[in-house]
Chain A
Amino acid sequence: MTKVQPLREFIQDVRAGNVDEEEFLHSVMEACSKLDEEYEPFITLRNVEEVLEEGRGLLKTKGKMPLVPFSVKDNICTAGVRTTAGSKILHDYIPFFDATCVKALKDEGAVLIGKTATDEFGFGTFCTNCAFCTPKNPHDKSRVCGGSSGGAACITALASFPHVAIAESTGGSIACPASFCGVFGFTPTYGVVSRYGLVDYANSLDKIGLMAKYIDDIMLAFEFISRRDERDSTCVGLDKEDHDITLERITLGIPKEFVEAVTDEKVLKTFQSFVKKLEGNGVNIVQVSIPSVKYALAAYYIVATAEASTNLAKFCGMRYGYEKNPEGKHYNEYFSEVRSEGFGEEAKRRILLGTFARMAGYRDAYYLRALKVRTLVIREFEKALKNADFLLAPTMPVLPPRFEDVKEMSPAEVYAMDVLTVPANFAGLPHISLPCGSVAGLPVGVQLMGRHFSDWKMLSLAKIMEEAELTHSF
């Protein structure tokens, strides 16, 4: 694909007066609109006039990201721009405030171009559960982009202009599509980026993160969105750190349970040859073990759906979103009617599952047990990371599947696709998916996983790998 200018180079150009703001934004929006027709990465692409209006004067901004186009996953609120979370139940919702992360980039002079496709409320692994559009894989249109941040990965891979995407992950929604579309996808430590303005899926799991074509683009934007926020009681923020990394001094642990879970031989081979390349560059590779990985998937789905079923209780046809005339109706009848018509199939499935897991008589066996398993998973990760700086594993067990194959999968089979992305997400650990190679033109991704709050060191390592051309560029 086209070689795109890294953000810092573009910003230098802007500062030097080499960019005509109107012409630039015009060409960006035109490119987006063409791509949207063919690949459908956007639920809402912004109106050109609005974007131009916002861009006016940004050449003189003191902000550190002047005129940088950014997209936002559509489950994150944007003032004056429709925010649907991919659901019919929010089809016409227009927030009157920006999420903290959106405001942070706008304050630096970045320009919002549109809202990217997501599975309804983030419920999906392929971005095929969106009520408005279905993004197509940039490397093969008959295949999925991965989910749930499928639109973000799609436009990041396709953009012929400087761009950074704000995405979000609950159980793998950044790493999976980043891997399937061949871009960098970074999920910070839980609690580092404010969730204020996020349409919650599962509060103890949701993490806002970033996707880009270059690691440095992610580092640039991460600095501004990783600040403490009094509006999110779980947000602790993270100060920027500089790390001097040499590959020869890095030890990476490969958890054998992850490797064993890879079902596609070609993915495994691509991963193994990437590991060889790392070793050839002096990286020390050790085998580690996280036995509780086999419980993580089930425990994750119980916690995630339990939290989702309470979060989604607020959508009831009052105050905002899909609504009907409530007059003369009893509230049980009205709420049930609106919710049954407004939620899609997967949303209903997860609400039912989560409600069940929290019900008297089942709560201890499912929900509480799952939370104890989380303690176990976190401990085992900590133990494995005593012998390694970071862990390394394939991001997805398969290549991006075809739309027709996805249709044949049962819900339990779809959930099982998250087996490699769920553990780090469940434990709240920072992780980043890097493109490491390709099989017949289709991207394969690997993920680095680190200790809580090792985000900057992990990004620095990823950057070194990118600079040494160990990662694959499409």
Chain B
Amino acid sequence: MQLDEETVRRVAFLARLKLDEEEVEKYRRELESILESFHVLNEAKVDGLEPAFQPIPVKNVFRRDDVGESVPQDLALSNTKNREGGFFKGPKVMD
């Protein structure tokens, strides 16, 4: 299949990846060749088959609805410098 640069830019935006022009062309070329090698899938006879979202039948794993220990706030915050007053600090979400 043909993949154009516009599609690569759109995908990159959806994935929140900033690509420069050179990267856009590089990934366009590589993805095109990878997708090309995936063409074989069109030959597979899968009509009437259910998609296997999991390889084995998965049942719910239940536990008792008991109050347990929670992560202490200082530990939860221990992996970031971006914190303030016991909260995580993030970028602006509204203009």
A positions within 8 Å CB-CB of B: 92-94, 96, 189-191, 204-205, 228-230, 232-236, 292, 294-295, 298-299, 301-302, 309, 313, 316-321, 323, 325-337, 339-340, 343, 348-349, 351-353, 355-356, 359, 366, 368-376, 378, 410-412, 415-416, 426-429, 452
Q: Are B50 and A329 in contact (CB under 8 A)?
A: no
Given contacts A319-B79, A352-B8, contact A330 B33 (CB under 8 A): no
Dominant secondary structure at the B interface: loop
Q: How large is the interface on B (under 10, 10 to 19, 20 to 34, 35 or more residues)?
A: 35 or more
Least CB distance, B94 to chain A, in whole angstroms: 9
Q: Which residues of A contact B82 (CB under 8 A)?
A: 317-318, 323, 325-326
- A378 CA / B55 CA spacing, docked (Å): 8
Contacting pair B50 A321 (CB below 8 A): no
**How distant is the Cα of A161 from the Cα of B95 in the complex, in angstroms?**
60
Partner of B55, one of A228, A229, A349, A427: A427
CA distance A234 to B17 in the complex (A): 31
CA separation between A302 and B93, bound complex, in Å?
A: 32
Distance, CA A337 to CA B19, complexed state (A) = 10
Known: A343-B17, A411-B34, A412-B33. A298 touches B40 (CB 8 A): yes
Complex contacts, B52 vs chain A, CB 8 Å: 371-372, 374-375, 378
- Min Cβ gap A424→B in Å is 10
B30 contacts which chain A residues (CB < 8 A)? 349, 410-412
Cβ B38 vs Cβ A309 within 8 A: no
CB distance from B8 to the nearest CB of A (A): 7
Query: Roughly how many angstroms separate A7 CA and B18 CA in the complex, as a whole number?
Result: 49
Cβ contact within 8 Å between B34 and A355:
no
Q: How many A-B residue pairs have CB under 8 A?
A: 185
Do residues B50 and A375 form an inter-chain contact, with CB atoms below 8 A? yes
Whether a CB of chain A sits under 8 angstroms from the CB of B67 is no
- Give A320 to B39 CA distance when docked, in angstroms: 39
Answer yes or no: B85 CB below 8 A from chain A CBs. Answer: no
CB-CB under 8 A from A366, the residues of chain B are: 38, 41
Pair A323/B40 contact, Cβ less than 8 Å: no
B58–A372 CB distance below 8 A: no
Q: Which of A189, A233, A313 has the most CB of B within 10 A?
A: A233
Report B-chain residues with C-beta under 8 Å of the C-beta of A427: 55
Contacting residues, chain A, for B62 (C-beta < 8 A): 230
Instruction: Knowing A323-B81, A336-B16, say if A353 contacts B34 (CB, 8 Å).
Output: yes
Question: Which residues from chain B contact A327 at a C-beta distance below 8 Å?
Answer: 89, 91
Once the chains bind, are A190 and B17 in contact (CB under 8 Å)?
Answer: no
**Best-surrounded residue of B34, B36, B79 (most CB of chain A within 10 A):** B34
With A316-B16, A331-B90, A352-B31 given, is the CB distance from A234 to B38 under 8 Å?
A: no
B2 interfacial contact with A, CB 8 Å: no
Decide: B78 and A323 in contact? CB cutoff 8 A.
no
